[in-house]
Amino acid sequence: MRRRNVLLIYPRFATGTFWNYRATCEAVGRRCPAPPLGLITMAALLPPEWTVRLIDCNADALTDDDLAWADLAMTGGMLVQQCSTFAIMRRCRARGLRVVVGGPDATSSPQLYSEADYLVLGEIEPILANFVAAVDNGVTSGRFETERYSTDIATAPIPRFDLLDFNHYLQIGVQFSRGCPFLCEFCDIIELYGRVPRAKSSAQMLAELDALYAAGWRGHVDFVDDNFIGNKKALKVFLPQLADWLKARNYPFEFSTEASLNLADDSELLALMRAANFFAVFVGIESSDESTLIATRKKQNTRRDIAASVRRIYAAGIFVVAGFIVGFDSEDDSVASSTGRLIENAAIPICMIGLLTALPNTELSRRLKREGRLFADYDLSADDDGDHCTQGLNFTTKRPRHAVLADARDLIVEVYRPERYFGRLRRMVRALDCTGYYPAIPLRRDLYEIIRLGWHCLVANAEIRREVWKTVIDCARHNPPALRAALRITALYIHLGPFARYAAAALERKTAEANAAPVAVVMAATG
């Protein structure tokens, strides 16, 4: 095998996005939330003769010297990274450097990446060796594609954590399973990763955590599973072993993940997650309206009191971050007020409020196309400055478009008023039962962060300091063990407060545009 220098390049996320936590990262001296798990997983399958370096463009600048060093560039990411991926591709090719593109967006929309020399699509574990052999045999371009949902996750290697500079990140991702058993109409997870969740064995997963521990990481680890509880049987075997693993090492990690709301129905699972130091879970609630949930096939959220379900998760010491969507066909003009009421009742401080987006290859985009409502040429990543909170609705809406946009704006403005956000946080903190939770070993770096955060939130930031003092005092009086969660959610407001203002202004502009040009929008839809 010929020696090669391979540069992995993780594209930049668009700037105005909910998830980039930019201001919070700056406040605590980090550069971005999380590293590229897909790229470092793929890197672990490259031959040892290939020397690999990683440039995460969210943390470091990609220089001409980096490109001059490389014999091959490998890049790719999500839809929101498309503009950056294209720019990387062109910059490499202008220098005569061959480019390999893979990852979720290229897998969903390969036709957009025709400038790449090689496309390596899908979960690449079964086919990466074919690609490597082709490159080694002098093949200069090609397309390699894994059969969907067929990858045996037991073949997923331990990611190359050694390629990361841990100082850049708030958290590190790991993955236990791929796929989700549900059928939500707008979801592309089930198109990319399938409906049969494939889980790693406990031994495989613990070996990954061993590697992360040995590499020196301590603190927040995020299980990036599509639905952590998708394969409950495997999870119930794994979690007790994870709890033992943590105990034996004096609790070096604390975990977050993503799961469906039916987690609230399984008290055994909640207890196991609590024992394994889970402190947060992202849940897609999407709508407060039962008929909308039925129409969008989010059946796991129906026939239940959503606020009560959230509170059951709080009672296990785990706080909920929730996703909501505006723009469903069946919603009416009360969407902003009814969703706002649910968010208040459930006391969920952090809510991602997105516009419905018909992602490529989803049931939703297929239906809208059949109905003649999907915008054919709508570029979802066009202005490189937003995510689903400000971009989306790439179809003719049932309600007037300006009304949908105005409702999304009103909801974001209301939910992120400091007194609302911190009011919900105080109620959440009282409901959070943190018994048996072991914060990850505090390091000097954590203390430094806490001091910086304390200064920022309690002294320097005039917009929130009153609310933060009230929250800290309330928490100290009523539930001191929940202080860590309260601080975390406070820290995230440093980004979310300004982001909400940015999103509201962007939605305001779009509302005015939709008001001014309703005819043009309909023509674009049918043309």
Q: Which does 193 bind (CB under 5 to 8 A by kind): ligand B12, ligand SF4, none?
A: ligand B12
Nearer CB in complex with ligand B12: 38/327? 38
Contact of 35 with 101, CB cutoff 8 Å: no
Comparing C-alpha atoms, which of 150, 176, 192, 280 is closest to residue 229?
Answer: 176
3-state secondary structure 437-503: CCCCCCCHHHHHHHHHHHHHHHHHCCCCHHHHHHHHHHHHHHCHHHHHHHHHHHHHHHHHHHHHHHH
Rounded to the nearest whole angstrom, what is the least distance from the CB of residue 285 to ligand SF4 in the complex?
11
Find which of ligand SF4, ligand B12, none residue 358 binds, CB within 5 to 8 Å per kind. none
* Partner that binds at residue 227, options ligand B12, ligand SF4, none, CB closer than 5 to 8 Å by kind: ligand SF4
Which neighbouring-strand residues pair with 255? 221, 278
Nearest distance from C-beta of residue 181 to ligand SF4, angstroms: 7
Tokens 């594209």 correspond to 11
Closer of 208 and 449 to ligand B12 (Cβ) = 208
Q: How far is the CB of 154 from ligand B12 (least distance, A)?
A: 13
Give residue number: closest CB to ligand B12. 102
Task: Find the shortest distance in angstroms from Cβ 311 to ligand B12.
Answer: 24
Between 103 and 284, CB nearer to ligand SF4: 284
C-alpha span between 295 and 299 (Å, rounded) = 9
CA 186 to chain centre: 16
Q: How far is the CB of 65 from ligand SF4 (least distance, A)?
A: 41
Q: Which residues bind ligand SF4 (CB under 6 A)?
A: 180, 182, 184, 187, 189-190, 226-227, 260, 284
Query: What separation in angstroms does the CA of 86 have from each of 17, 52, 135, 481, 492?
Result: 19, 21, 22, 47, 30
* Angle of CA points 131, 134, 136, to nearest 5°: 110
User: Kind of pairing, strands 4-10 and 72-75?
Assistant: parallel
Q: Which of ligand B12, ligand SF4, none lies near 174, with the C-beta cut-off 5 to 8 A by kind? A: none
Residue ranges in contact with ligand B12 by CB under 6 A = 13-14, 17-20, 33-39, 41-42, 74-76, 78-80, 100-105, 108, 120, 123-125, 173, 175, 178, 188-189, 192-193, 224, 226, 354, 359, 387-388
Query: Could you tell which of ligand B12, ligand SF4, none binds residue 180, using a CB distance below 5 to 8 A set by kind?
Result: ligand SF4
The position carrying tokens 């009814």 is 338
Q: Which does 103 bind (CB under 5 to 8 A by kind): ligand B12, ligand SF4, none?
A: ligand B12
Cβ partners under 8 Å of residue 214, min gap 6: none
Cβ 171 to ligand SF4 shortest distance, Å: 20
Is 116 or 275 the residue whose CB approaches ligand B12 more closely? Answer: 116
Q: CA distances (Å), 216 to each of 49, 67, 106, in order? A: 25, 29, 33
Among ligand B12, ligand SF4, none, the one that 16 touches (CB under a kind-dependent 5 to 8 A) is: none
Q: Minimum distance between the CB of residue 251 and ligand B12, rounded to whole angstroms?
A: 23
Q: Looking at beta carbons only, is 151 or 227 nearer to ligand SF4?
A: 227
Quick check: helix, strand or coil at residue 65?
helix
CA nearest 170: which of 117, 132, 220, 102?
A: 220
